[in-house]
Structure 1
Amino acid sequence: MKSSVLFAAALAASAAFVAASGRPVAAKSSPVCAACVKANMERLAGDDLRGRGCGSADENAASRFIVDILRRSKIDPAFGKDGYLQAVQLLTPTPAAPPTLTVTKDGQQVTLLQGRDMIAFESPVSLDAPLVVVTDSRAAADVVKGKVVVFDTPIQDLPGVQILLHTGAAAVIAPANDQISEHWDELAARPPGRTQITGVPPHAGPALGVSIFAKPDAMKAVRGLAGGEARLDAPRGPPKERTTYNVLGVLHGTAPDADRHALLLTAHYDHLGVRNGVIFHGANDDASGTSAVLEFARILGSSKRNKRTVYFGLFGCEEEGELGAQYFLGHAPMATSDLMANLEFEMIGVDDPQRPGALMLTGWERTNLGPALQAHGAHVGPDLYPQQHFFQRSDNYQLALKGVVAQTVSAWPVPPTYHAASDDLAHVDLKFMDTVIGSMVEPVTWLLNSDFQPAWLEGQKP
Structure 2
Amino acid sequence: MTKHLFLAGAMACGLLASPAFAQDKWTVRPEWVRAHESFLASDALQGRGSATRDEAIAAAYVAAQFEGFGLKTAPGMQGYLQPATIVRATLKGASLVSGSINVPQIGVLVGAAEGTGGKSVVFAGTDPAALPAGEVVLASGDPDIMAMYRAAGRKGVKLLVLRQSAKTDAMVKAMGGQPRMPTFLDGAPKEPRTVVAVVPAAQFDALARTPGADVQVRLDVARETSITTNAIGWLPGTDPKAGVILLTAHLDHLGVRSDGVIMHGANDDASGTTAVLELARALAAGKPMKRGVLFVAYGAEEIGGMGSTWFGMHPPVPLADMVANIEFEMIGAQDPKLPAGQMMMTGFERSNLGETLKSHGALVGPDPYPEQHFFERSDNYSLALQGVVAHTISGWAVIPTYHTPQDDLASLDIAFMTRAIQSLVEPIRSLANSADKPEWKPGGRPGSR
Measure the CA separation in 2 of the matches of 1:287 and 1:32.
17
Cα distance change, pair 121–291 in 1 and its aligned pair in 2 (3 A): farther
Cα drift, residue 229 of structure 1: 7.0
- Alignment equivalent of 1:297, drawn from 259, 268, 280: 280
Corresponding residue for residue 196 of structure 1: 184
Cα drift, residue 113 of structure 1: 8.0
Contact 2:230 2:299 in 1 (8 A): yes
- Alignment equivalent of 2:255, drawn from 273, 290, 297: 273
Task: Please tell me the residue identity of whatever aligns with 1:138.
Answer: A
Q: Deviations for 1:328-363, whole angstroms, at most 9, x for unmatched residues?
A: 112111110100000000000022112243211111
Cα drift, residue 144 of structure 1: 10
Task: Please tell me the residue identity of whatever aligns with 2:154.
Answer: H
Secondary structure of 2:128's match? coil
Contact 1:246 1:314 in 2 (8 A): yes
Moved more, 71-80 or 283-292: 71-80
Corresponding residue for residue 334 of structure 1: 317
Alignment of 1:161-180 (within 5 A): 162-167=150-155, 170-171=159-160
Larger RCO: 1 or 2 (CA < 8 Å, sep 6+): 1
- How big is the alpha-carbon RMSD for the aligned residues of Structure 1 and Structure 2? 3.7
1:375 aligns with 2:374: no
Secondary structure of 1:351's match? coil
Measure the CA separation in 2 of the matches of 1:250 and 1:152.
52
Contact 1:165 1:172 in 2 (8 A): no
Cα distance change, pair 81–368 in 1 and its aligned pair in 2 (3 A): closer
TM-score of the pair, normalised by structure 1: 0.75
Cα distance change, pair 415–140 in 1 and its aligned pair in 2 (3 A): closer
Task: Please tell me the residue identity of whatever aligns with 1:353.
Answer: P
Measure the CA separation in 2 of the matches of 1:340 and 1:87.
25
Cα distance change, pair 350–328 in 1 and its aligned pair in 2 (3 A): same
Measure the CA separation in 2 of the matches of 1:121 and 1:410.
34
Moved more, 279-288 or 411-420: 411-420
- Alignment equivalent of 2:137, drawn from 132, 146, 167: 146
TM-score of the pair, normalised by structure 2: 0.77
Q: Which has the larger radius of gyration?
A: 2
Q: Deviations for 1:70-127, whole angstroms, at most 9, x for unmatched residues?
A: 1111111115475111110111102337x999xxxxxxxxx9988xxxx647597688
Q: Identity, % of aligned pairs?
A: 40
Contact 2:133 2:155 in 1 (8 A): no
Measure the CA separation in 2 of the matches of 1:42 and 1:282.
11
Q: Deviations for 1:227-264, whole angstroms, at most 9, x for unmatched residues?
A: 6879999965531110111111111122353xx41100
Task: Please tell me the residue identity of whatever aligns with 2:87.
Answer: L
Cα distance change, pair 226–322 in 1 and its aligned pair in 2 (3 A): same
- How many equivalent pairs are there? 397
1:392 aligns with 2:392: no
Secondary structure of 1:279's match? coil
Measure the CA separation in 2 of the matches of 1:189 and 1:310.
47
Alignment of 1:20-419 (within 5 A): 31-80=27-76, 82-96=78-92, 120=110, 134-139=125-130, 141=132, 146-148=137-139, 152=143, 162-167=150-155, 170-171=159-160, 192-203=180-191, 207-210=192-195, 236=220, 238-255=222-239, 257=241, 260-276=242-258, 277-357=260-340, 358-419=342-403
Task: Please tell me the residue identity of whatever aligns with 1:296.
Answer: L
Measure the CA separation in 2 of the matches of 1:166 and 1:80.
39
Secondary structure of 1:51's match? coil
Q: Which runs of 5+ in 2 are unaligned?
A: 1-23, 97-104, 163-172, 209-214
